[in-house]
A = this chain, B = another copy of it.
Amino acid sequence: MATGREIAQLCGVSVATVSRVFNQPETVNEETRSRVLRVARELDYRPNESARALSTKQSTMIGLVWDTDHRRPGWRHPYLQDVLIGLKSALSAHGYHLLMLATSGDAREVGASLADPVGYVNMTRRHHLGGLVLIDSGSDADAFATFAQSGVPCVALDVPLDGPRATYVTTDNFGGAREAVRHLVGLGHKRIAMITGPAGNQPSEARVAGYRQALLDAGLVPRDSYLVAGDFYRGSGTAAAQRLLALDEPPTAVFAASDEMAVGAVLAARAAGLSVPRDLALVGFDDIEVASVVEPALTTVAQDKPGFGVAAAKAIMAMITGGEREEPVVLPARLVVRGSCGAG
């Protein structure tokens, strides 16, 4: 790799001038500038990022905090790849890379433990990262508070985060849920139940609120027995559906807070000898890939998955350059009607 010094020598200028050509082009004479650029091109010069980061105290990297191995070991993020696609392409546009931070493991590490927010913040400093994107990294409130207060720009996905340079991006969960339930109401359903996410989960709570609102709008009274908590995973959807179907007055329609749980509900209905959507209408949330493959295909509320990544990238970049907190981003939700709700 050619260095700035070599270029400087070949051009008969100082290294400072070479550096200026790339960082403050307007301050260097037109002619010498083009001379430097030409030589740089010939030598295929690329500034050394380590040196630049050391000197500048900032790299062109954003850290990704993504813990996989705590809580549910088998758990997979339903649309991580889409988020990454959006994130990567949006960051690329700014010349930034995405660094998937290692969790612990470094023997040299003085005291970082698994999923330790302090450890991540330290990594951020050590590598001069521009900021952090937090994706599904546990629902530990303390952890998030640590991130938010650390001063490093960070944006969380789907988890409210508030700090001097911390924000988050989420979907219009309320609106999406309301529309889903409205649709069910429009199909004539009166007994509509919901399988929620875990208590305290912000997106889930918003979806529940949307569900209630839609019921109230339609003059229906929400019943407590029609609200069963799940944990977003498939198994809990099956269990919840079983409980609902065992009620004296079982629902004719169920809105699940996630597609995974909706699939679980389909399985439960099938096992109970019920036909979806004839005996039980179902609507999910997320629009994950399996939603279109299940039989019947799932009616669901689609999230703008790459949009998460893009919005996160935008927010991070804005905070890096602007320095101030960005407003939270709320992405639109869109009802996708397929077979499971009983409408064409």
Contact = CB atoms under 8 A, between A and B. Distances in A.
A97 B101 contact: yes
Contacts of A60: 102, 106
A93 interface: yes
Contacts of A13: none
A102 B108 contact: no
Interface string A33-77: 000000011001111111101100001110010101100000011
A230 B152 CA distance: 48
A54 B46 contact: no
Interface in A12-41: 22, 40-41
Nearest to A122: B46
Given A46-B125, A126-B49, A289-B290, A68 B95 contact: no
Contacts of A272: none
The count of identical subunits is 2
Contacts of A92: 102-106
Nearest to A118: B44
A69 B92 CA distance: 12
A76 B68 contact: no
A295 interface: yes
- Interface bin, chain A: 35 or more
A247 interface: no
A275 interface: no
Contacts of A77: 81
A138 B84 CA distance: 18
Interface of A: 1, 22, 40-41, 44-51, 53-54, 59-61, 64, 66, 68-69, 76-77, 80-82, 84-85, 88-89, 91-111, 122-123, 125-128, 263, 289-290, 293-295
27 contacts: A1-B126, A46-B125, A48-B126, A49-B127, A50-B53, A50-B59, A61-B99, A66-B88, A69-B85, A76-B81, A76-B82, A76-B289, A80-B81, A88-B100, A88-B102, A88-B103, A92-B102, A92-B103, A92-B106, A95-B106, A95-B107, A95-B108, A98-B99, A99-B100, A290-B293, A293-B294, A294-B294
